[in-house]
Chains A and B, each alone.
Chain A
């Protein structure tokens, strides 16, 4: 068993040692980890820190006071050019839901609702494969479920694209998430990413969502990167099927790359 772990760690290190600018600069959302003792944090992208070449911890820092959350990504090694990892994440949306359930401005949920403690756990499996020397294809599959008391009232949801699919498990059902992303380089500093993500929820209605995101990513300096693009979403919401296109922007700071 020890030999297997050492072997997996060995090939994991080898895989991460290969030079691949898009991976070194934009490893979020892939099976690659932050290198040991390196960190990065975006406004929206989670804070990530490489504990070692085997483990990465991460958390969404900005929303942490309202949605306490923490996760760990574990390198599982590589085989035939495929790199594997698993991701495990715990969060609670209860404080956020109770804060925005209020009268007046800022009331995203009607004040008549109170929410019990809801703890969500997400587990996912990631795989990445470099394609040539400039791009990286990644896939993920996982599920999110929640421990809670009574089911919250289904009319207490926040019916917004991007937000609603990420809160469904707090109300009813288990969310099965799959994703595919392709990252590549236009130049040494300019990169792009296209992604698809789907959410199936184990319940009878309002149970399917899909997102397509695209970004241009600029490594503006050794410690700051900027990404901007769009997210196009479709979903079956309580009010019916709905398409939405939103712009996205994020600033990512971190260790020198």
Chain B
């Protein structure tokens, strides 16, 4: 056999083998997901002893805005910056860690956590928080993942919902929420793919329960956000109907029923924008008018226990506001929630409004009652 023929055969075989192997593991320009797939699990190498809870544990939800605090990000807040430096992100993460250490939640639901993304200096924020805190386990599902987002210089993007726990996570799923139908195909391909992350938490001597973390669409102008809320409740209904307990929360991007203010177009308006005037198109800023959503949260409040019950919220709404888009302002609306199908300890809920500059969302925490085995 000639040398050329041998080389030809070897190269051809090598090509086929390598391509077959790699083709299954390679990343698409933007990542799509199955309807339900395994979440990604992180475990801390040097574990911290988890306490033996008495009868309750503290649950906290927080959209941490990938550690940029109230930074002027170009994608919201009328900002002009896309990229934040490693120094800025680490300072933001250290602030978040300080707050976590003050509240000392046992289970933490985080939204807008970045994994090796360009705009957050390629830091694996979940790994950083896990390694620098007392949590031992984490599960996450990406809600926006692309090798490159070819818009605004966002670059590589991997944003996720994450659940952190002191105790082992025995199973974890990423559940895909509906994609927006008000975007063109190419924009939708590279844009958010909102999701729910569901994890089963195992605490010795207590019944296991599910932690469910959702981040719904903020800017959809069609019924996508409504679908997300329906899908979120479906997940909770399925857990409840199977006889299990859950704590569920997240940034649901809509306001509670009976809110005094439902339209935030003027609060959120940038200097070059105009709304509500004849000829303005659109009439409302995307994601700022909640008036059509007034009753979208009713089924959740009806069937499950919100950590901030509706009557408590309605008695003093400002005390439970968790969000603002304006960099220098106090919280002006409630978008972040905790629900359970079991029990919150009475009077345990705290809306941490004092953490004013660590994100554009305030965390909410409450004590969840455990059930002995």
Say if the beta carbon of A184 comes within 8 Å of chain B: yes
Say if the beta carbon of A230 comes within 8 Å of chain B: yes
Q: Which residues in A have their C-beta under 8 angstroms from that of B102?
A: none
Establish whether residues A182 and B11, one from each chain, have CB atoms under 8 Å apart when the complex forms.
Answer: yes
In A52-96, which residues have CB < 8 Å from any B CB?
A: none
Bound Cα distance from A104 to B186, whole angstroms: 13
Establish whether residues B156 and A239, one from each chain, have CB atoms under 8 Å apart when the complex forms.
Answer: yes
Stretch of B79-87, B288-296, B304-312 with 4 or more beta carbons under 8 angstroms from chain A? B79-87
Q: Which residues in A have their C-beta under 8 angstroms from that of B27?
A: 242, 244
Find B26's partner among A113, A153, A245 (CB 8 Å cutoff). Answer: A245
Q: Mark B65-102, 1 if CB is under 8 A from A, else 0.
A: 00000000010000011110100000000000000000
Residues of B in contact, count (CB < 8 Å): 36
Bound Cα distance from A194 to B116, whole angstroms: 33
Find A239's partner among B11, B83, B122, B152 (CB 8 Å cutoff). Answer: B122
Q: Mark B4-22, 1 if CB is under 8 A from A, else 0.
A: 1001100100010011001
Please count the residue pairs between chain A and chain B whose beta carbons lie under 8 angstroms apart in the complex: 108
In A198-236, which residues have CB < 8 Å from any B CB?
A: 212, 214, 230, 232
Stretch of B48-56, B143-151, B249-257, B331-339 with 4 or more beta carbons under 8 angstroms from chain A? B143-151
Q: Which residues in B have their C-beta under 8 angstroms from that of A232?
A: 18-19, 22
Bound Cα distance from A159 to B157, whole angstroms: 11
CB nearest to B158 among chain A residues: A239
Establish whether residues A243 and B26, one from each chain, have CB atoms under 8 Å apart when the complex forms.
Answer: yes
Bound Cα distance from A231 to B129, whole angstroms: 37
Find B147's partner among A109, A112, A160 (CB 8 Å cutoff). Answer: A160
Establish whether residues B155 and A184, one from each chain, have CB atoms under 8 Å apart when the complex forms.
Answer: no
Establish whether residues A132 and B2, one from each chain, have CB atoms under 8 Å apart when the complex forms.
Answer: yes
B191 to chain A, nearest CB (A): 12
Establish whether residues B25 and A243, one from each chain, have CB atoms under 8 Å apart when the complex forms.
Answer: yes
Q: Which residues in A have their C-beta under 8 angstroms from that of B74?
A: 103, 111
Bound Cα distance from A167 to B72, whole angstroms: 29
Establish whether residues A194 and B151, one from each chain, have CB atoms under 8 Å apart when the complex forms.
Answer: no
Q: Which residues in B have their C-beta under 8 angstroms from that of A104?
A: 151-152
A20 to chain B, nearest CB (A): 12
B65 to chain A, nearest CB (A): 17
Q: Which residues in B have their C-beta under 8 angstroms from that of A230?
A: 15, 19
Q: Which residues in B have their C-beta under 8 angstroms from that of A212?
A: 18
Q: A243 and B22 in contact (CB under 8 A), knowing A109-B153, A159-B156? A: yes
Say if the beta carbon of A10 comes within 8 Å of chain B: no
Interface residues, chain A, with chain B CB atoms under 8 Å away: 100-113, 131-132, 134-135, 153, 155-160, 182, 184, 192, 194, 212, 214, 230, 232, 238-240, 242-245
Interface residues, chain B, with chain A CB atoms under 8 Å away: 2-4, 7-8, 11, 15, 18-19, 22-23, 25-27, 74, 80-83, 85, 116-119, 121-122, 147-148, 150-156, 187
Residue pairs across A and B with Cβ atoms less than 8 A apart, 7 shown, are: A113-B153, A132-B2, A155-B83, A155-B155, A232-B19, A243-B22, A245-B26
